[in-house]
Amino acid sequence: MRKIPWSGYITLAILIILFISSSMPYEEQSLKPGLSRYFNLDFVEAFRFISFDYHGEVSVEALGASGFVEFFIRKAAHLSIFIVLGFALVDLTVRLLRPYVLAGLFAYTLAITIAVFDEFHQIVTGGRTGLIQDVLLDGTGALIGIVLYRFIRRKRRAEQLIRLS
């Protein structure tokens, strides 16, 4: 019987985290009360000049200081969890598929598929919306993770070659 690599456990943990967080209504996940209560958000006033559309206006004026900070925390969470997922998925697939380009493409496709299903799951959850922008953000995170894996692997291989010579 083959041993499950670390990346298999990481992938499974991320899938569970995504499923649980997508099952929760927004009100249960809102960071705004805690941000307002525990942090001094006066610094956010310096960002009043920022305004853009992301399924509605994103600005300090439209969302308030805590909503504005929460938006960036949530999007950073999307990006970071998919960086880790992309890294783990490419580690899993590179063990099965050669060359690396094929493994990377498969891992990226799988990550995008997971992102689409995650957003769909949010659509069927009360008080949540699924956004194509989030799928694009998730895909960007996965791509960063895949490329990061490649750089680390290449660097390790070069170090091994140097030690052998």
Whether residue 96 is contained in a domain is answered as yes
The pair phi, psi for residue 107, each rounded to 5°, is: -60, -40
Q: What is the pLDDT of residues 32-64, one digit of tens each?
A: 999 989 999 999 999 999 999 999 999 999 999
How many angstroms separate the CA atoms of 108 and 85, rounded?
Answer: 10
Indicate yes or no: pTM above 0.85: yes
The dihedral region occupied by 97, where left means phi > 0, alpha psi between -120 and 50, and beta the remainder, is: beta
Whether residue 132 is contained in a domain is answered as yes
The number of domains in the chain is 1
Whether residue 4 is contained in a domain is answered as no
pLDDT of 122 strictly over 80: yes
Whether residue 3 is contained in a domain is answered as no
How many angstroms separate the CA atoms of 137 and 68, rounded?
Answer: 18
Q: What is the mean pLDDT of residues 64-83?
A: 96
Whether residue 5 is contained in a domain is answered as no
How many angstroms separate the CA atoms of 106 and 112, rounded?
Answer: 10
Within 10 Å of residue 11's Cβ, how many Cβ atoms? 23
Whether residue 2 is contained in a domain is answered as no
